[in-house]
Protein backbone atom coordinates (compact mmCIF):
# COMPACT_ATOMS: atom_id res chain seq x y z
CA UNK A 1 0.00 0.00 0.00
CA UNK A 2 2.84 2.40 0.74
CA UNK A 3 4.04 1.79 -2.76
CA UNK A 4 0.72 3.04 -4.22
CA UNK A 5 0.86 6.20 -2.10
CA UNK A 6 4.37 6.91 -3.35
CA UNK A 7 3.25 6.42 -6.95
CA UNK A 8 0.33 8.83 -6.45
CA UNK A 9 2.62 11.42 -4.87
CA UNK A 10 4.94 11.31 -7.89
CA UNK A 11 2.06 11.91 -10.30
CA UNK A 12 0.70 15.41 -10.20
CA UNK A 13 -2.92 16.18 -10.83
CA UNK A 14 -3.84 19.01 -13.16
CA UNK A 15 -5.73 21.98 -11.74
CA UNK A 16 -8.64 21.11 -13.96
CA UNK A 17 -8.84 17.55 -12.64
CA UNK A 18 -8.40 18.67 -9.02
CA UNK A 19 -11.13 21.27 -9.45
CA UNK A 20 -13.47 18.76 -11.05
CA UNK A 21 -12.90 16.21 -8.27
CA UNK A 22 -13.35 18.85 -5.58
CA UNK A 23 -16.53 20.12 -7.22
CA UNK A 24 -17.98 16.63 -7.47
CA UNK A 25 -17.21 15.90 -3.82
CA UNK A 26 -18.76 19.19 -2.71
CA UNK A 27 -21.82 18.53 -4.85
CA UNK A 28 -22.32 15.14 -3.18
CA UNK A 29 -21.79 16.62 0.30
CA UNK A 30 -24.36 19.47 0.12
CA UNK A 31 -27.95 19.72 -1.08
CA UNK A 32 -29.62 22.19 -3.45
CA UNK A 33 -30.81 24.40 -0.58
CA UNK A 34 -27.22 24.89 0.61
CA UNK A 35 -26.13 26.19 -2.79
CA UNK A 36 -29.20 28.43 -3.02
CA UNK A 37 -28.41 29.92 0.38
CA UNK A 38 -24.77 30.67 -0.37
CA UNK A 39 -25.75 32.04 -3.78
CA UNK A 40 -28.26 34.36 -2.13
CA UNK A 41 -25.65 35.57 0.37
CA UNK A 42 -23.11 36.12 -2.38
CA UNK A 43 -25.61 38.06 -4.47
CA UNK A 44 -26.55 40.29 -1.56
CA UNK A 45 -22.91 40.98 -0.71
CA UNK A 46 -22.08 41.76 -4.33
CA UNK A 47 -25.04 44.13 -4.67
CA UNK A 48 -23.89 46.01 -1.56
CA UNK A 49 -20.31 46.33 -2.82
CA UNK A 50 -21.10 47.71 -6.27
CA UNK A 51 -23.29 50.54 -7.55
CA UNK A 52 -26.20 50.34 -9.96
CA UNK A 53 -23.97 51.95 -12.60
CA UNK A 54 -21.46 49.11 -12.24
CA UNK A 55 -24.11 46.53 -13.08
CA UNK A 56 -25.42 48.66 -15.96
CA UNK A 57 -21.89 48.95 -17.36
CA UNK A 58 -21.12 45.24 -17.19
CA UNK A 59 -24.56 44.45 -18.63
CA UNK A 60 -23.88 46.84 -21.50
CA UNK A 61 -20.49 45.24 -22.18
CA UNK A 62 -21.98 41.77 -22.05
CA UNK A 63 -24.75 42.75 -24.42
CA UNK A 64 -22.30 44.26 -26.89
CA UNK A 65 -20.06 41.19 -26.77
CA UNK A 66 -23.03 38.89 -27.31
CA UNK A 67 -24.32 40.94 -30.23
CA UNK A 68 -20.87 40.77 -31.84
CA UNK A 69 -20.67 36.99 -31.41
CA UNK A 70 -24.09 36.11 -32.84
CA UNK A 71 -25.97 37.16 -35.97
CA UNK A 72 -29.53 38.41 -36.34
CA UNK A 73 -30.83 34.95 -37.28
CA UNK A 74 -29.65 33.58 -33.91
CA UNK A 75 -31.59 36.24 -32.01
CA UNK A 76 -34.67 35.69 -34.18
CA UNK A 77 -34.56 31.96 -33.43
CA UNK A 78 -34.18 32.33 -29.67
CA UNK A 79 -36.84 35.05 -29.64
CA UNK A 80 -39.23 32.76 -31.47
CA UNK A 81 -38.53 29.89 -29.05
CA UNK A 82 -39.03 32.19 -26.08
CA UNK A 83 -42.28 33.50 -27.51
CA UNK A 84 -43.58 29.98 -28.14
CA UNK A 85 -42.67 28.88 -24.61
CA UNK A 86 -44.30 31.95 -23.11
CA UNK A 87 -47.45 31.35 -25.18
CA UNK A 88 -47.66 27.79 -23.85
CA UNK A 89 -47.19 28.89 -20.23
CA UNK A 90 -49.60 31.86 -20.14
CA UNK A 91 -53.23 32.48 -20.99
CA UNK A 92 -55.02 35.40 -22.65
CA UNK A 93 -55.49 37.18 -19.32
CA UNK A 94 -51.69 37.37 -18.90
CA UNK A 95 -51.32 39.08 -22.27
CA UNK A 96 -54.18 41.47 -21.53
CA UNK A 97 -52.51 42.49 -18.26
CA UNK A 98 -49.07 43.09 -19.76
CA UNK A 99 -50.64 44.88 -22.73
CA UNK A 100 -52.51 47.17 -20.34
CA UNK A 101 -49.32 47.90 -18.38
CA UNK A 102 -47.35 48.54 -21.56
CA UNK A 103 -50.03 50.84 -22.93
CA UNK A 104 -50.17 52.84 -19.71
CA UNK A 105 -46.39 53.14 -19.56
CA UNK A 106 -46.22 54.28 -23.19
CA UNK A 107 -49.05 56.74 -22.67
CA UNK A 108 -47.34 58.20 -19.59
CA UNK A 109 -44.04 58.44 -21.44
CA UNK A 110 -45.24 60.21 -24.60
CA UNK A 111 -48.43 62.06 -23.66
CA UNK A 112 -51.58 62.96 -25.57
CA UNK A 113 -50.00 65.43 -28.03
CA UNK A 114 -47.61 62.78 -29.32
CA UNK A 115 -50.44 60.41 -30.13
CA UNK A 116 -52.50 63.17 -31.78
CA UNK A 117 -49.51 64.00 -33.97
CA UNK A 118 -48.79 60.43 -35.04
CA UNK A 119 -52.51 59.76 -35.49
CA UNK A 120 -52.83 62.62 -37.95
CA UNK A 121 -49.68 61.54 -39.75
CA UNK A 122 -50.96 57.97 -39.95
CA UNK A 123 -54.31 59.17 -41.26
CA UNK A 124 -52.64 61.11 -44.06
CA UNK A 125 -50.55 58.09 -45.02
CA UNK A 126 -53.29 55.50 -44.82
CA UNK A 127 -54.53 56.09 -48.35
CA UNK A 128 -58.16 56.20 -47.30
CA UNK A 129 -58.80 59.24 -49.47
CA UNK A 130 -59.73 61.46 -46.56
CA UNK A 131 -58.39 64.98 -46.77
CA UNK A 132 -59.64 66.05 -43.34
CA UNK A 133 -56.30 65.35 -41.74
Between residues 10 and 89, which one has the greater pLDDT? 89
Tell me whether residue 39 is exposed, middle or buried, using C-beta atoms within 10 angstroms of its C-beta: 0 to 12, 13 to 18, 19 or more: exposed
Percent of the chain with pLDDT over 70: 87
Predicted local distance difference test score (pLDDT) of residue 128: 58
Note the pLDDT tens digit of each residue in 10-59.
589 999 999 999 999 999 999 999 999 999 999 999 999 999 999 999 99
- Give mean pLDDT, residues 77-81: 97
Amino acid sequence: MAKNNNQNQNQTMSREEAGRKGGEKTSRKYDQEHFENIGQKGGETTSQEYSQKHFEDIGQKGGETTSEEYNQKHFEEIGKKGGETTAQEHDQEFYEEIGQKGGETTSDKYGEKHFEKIGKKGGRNSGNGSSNN
